[in-house]
Homo-oligomer: A and B are copies of this chain.
Amino acid sequence: MTSDQHAPADQRRDRITISIDAMGGDRGPSAVVAGMARSMSKNPDIGFIVHGPQETLEPLIAKRRGLADICEIRDAKDTVRMDEKPAQVLRRSKTTSMWSALTSVKKREADVCVSCGNTGALMMLSVVRLRKLSGVDRPAIAVLWPSRSEQGYNIMLDAGADIRADEHDLVKYALMGVSYARNGLGIEHPRVGLLNVGTEEHKGRPELRLAYELIEELTVSADFRFVGFVEGGDLPRDTCDVIVTDGFSGNVALKTGEGTASLIGERLREAFRYSPLSRLASVLAYTSLQRLSKKIDPRRVNGGVFLGLNGTVVKSHGSADATGVSAAIKLAYQLTQSNFSEKLAARVASAPALDQDGETGDGSE
């Protein structure tokens, strides 16, 4: 372990330190450690603080050559289970690996936190530990959506941090999404769309009509374009780069998209197994189908990013394997490299005071 490993993260920009909650995923800590090893081989300047039971983690890490050298283990006896309700978690949270992993970001020992655990609990503990960013009332989860856009992905938020959002929240989501698009995907002038059931301005709920006007006003002074209302069909299209919606609709869209893709994939495999001819065809088409599957593989865009907190948290899919965990770590790494947290905070702070009753980010929920 290098000595500067113990210096605060904000004092050593030569190494990016990622705080990993090794517990709580469906595949256990071995998948997480395998993902860490994979990321290490691709990024020589990465470092980890990994949280979970010492006696479990130590042997798993020792098995991967070189990993122990860039890893610090923080012993945490308890795990937040997938089926636990956030309220249950809160009572006993301080002994969990999730709490410990967030604490490393709070203390600035690490730049960013990655967890495969229970989403609701992770969001709740993130708000408690990191507090809401000044000016943000409702933090959001941003996800990457495979699309026809040049960069191959669109950003959708909120994917389910909160079940509702008013017009001021939606404006903040737009600003945070723009910051993510620029720093995470390298899009200079992101196009923003507001999810609705029709593309005509007169349609939809009142908060959507109000958010439409507020976002349109902002484009005058900002470095993004507003394409107006978009529909569910625009999520995978090249209409816009950032799709803004409340967490209920966003979560329904996300789960529906995943379910549809999975049904089609299953039917496709059935079709190829159907006859000797089709089985031969699947052999011939193997390389092309692999390329396709790589393009739409959800594991490769694994990682919902929690936006609107004092610090970045990447939520990896609960069922992520080594490839998935490694993709989440890569995303965390990229965001840190571009100083995402600082830039996002600056963007939200620079927004004109839209709401008179705006929260000051005291994080008391």
CB closest residue in chain B, given A266? B148
Is the Cβ of A251 less than 8 Å from the Cβ of B277? no
In the complex, which of the residues B205, B256, B283 contacts A163, with contact meaning CB atoms closer than 8 Å?
B205
Closest to A147 in B: B263
Give the CA-CA distance A275 to B288 in the complex, in Å: 8
Check: A80 CB closer than 8 A to any chain B CB: no
Instruction: Please provide the chain A residues from 242 to 289 with a CB less than 8 Å away from any CB of chain B in the complex.
Output: 245, 247-249, 251-264, 266-268, 270-272, 274-275, 277-278, 280-285, 287-289
- Measured between beta carbons, the chain B residues less than 8 angstroms from A278 are 284-285, 287-289
Does any Cβ of B come within 8 Å of A232's Cβ? Answer: yes
Interface residues as binary, A285-298 with B (CB distance below 8 Å gives 1, 0 otherwise): 10111011001100
Q: CB within 8 Å of B: which of A231-247?
A: 231-237, 245, 247
Q: Which of A35-43, A59-67, A196-204 contacts B (4 or more CB under 8 A)?
A: A196-204
A-side interface size class: 35 or more
Contact pick for A260, options B260, B283, B292, CB 8 Å:
B260
Q: Bound state CA distance, A288 and B269, in angstroms? A: 10
Q: Please state if A252 and B197 are interface contacts (CB–CB under 8 Å).
A: yes
Contact A292 B267 (CB under 8 A): yes
Decide yes or no whether A28 CB sits under 8 A from chain B.
no
B residues near A177, Cβ cutoff 8 Å? none
Q: Which residues of B contact A120 (CB under 8 A)?
A: 198
Chain B residues with Cβ below 8 Å from A283 are: 281
Residue in B146, B251, B263 whose CB lies within 8 Å of A197:
B251
A264 to chain B, nearest CB (A): 5
* Complex contact A288–B264 (CB within 8 A): no
What residue of chain B has the Cβ atom nearest to residue A160's Cβ?
B197
Taking CB atoms, residues of chain B closer than 8 Å to A6 are none
Contact, CB under 8 Å: A148 / B287: no
Contacting residues, chain B, for A116 (C-beta < 8 A): none
Q: Which residues of B contact A291 (CB under 8 A)?
A: 271, 274
Verify B260–A261 contact, CB threshold 8 A. Answer: yes
Q: If A197-B251, A197-B252 touch, does A259 touch B284 (CB 8 Å cutoff)?
A: no
Q: 8 Å CB contacts to B: which residues of A79-95?
A: 85
Map CB proximity to B onto A325-360 as digits: 1 under 8 Å, 0 otherwise: 000000000000000000000000000000000000
B288 touches A85 (CB 8 A): no
The verdict on A164 contacting chain B, using a C-beta distance below 8 Å, is yes
Which residues of B are found within 8 Å of A245, using beta-carbon distances?
Answer: 252
Task: Assess whether A195 is interfacial by the CB under 8 Å rule.
Answer: yes
Given contacts A120-B198, A284-B278, A289-B271, contact A235 B259 (CB under 8 A): yes
The answer for the CA separation of A205 and B165 in the assembled complex, in Å, is 12
With A197-B160, A248-B205 known as contacts, the answer to whether A256 contacts B285 (CB < 8 A) is no
Residues A288 and B263 in contact in the complex (CB < 8 Å), given A120-B198, A232-B255: no
27 cross-chain CB contacts under 8 A:
A163-B204, A197-B247, A232-B252, A232-B255, A233-B256, A233-B262, A234-B259, A235-B256, A236-B259, A236-B263, A237-B263, A245-B252, A248-B249, A252-B253, A257-B259, A263-B296, A267-B292, A267-B295, A271-B288, A271-B291, A274-B288, A275-B288, A277-B284, A278-B284, A278-B287, A278-B288, A280-B281
Chain B hits for A288, CB < 8 A? 271-272, 274-275, 277-278, 281
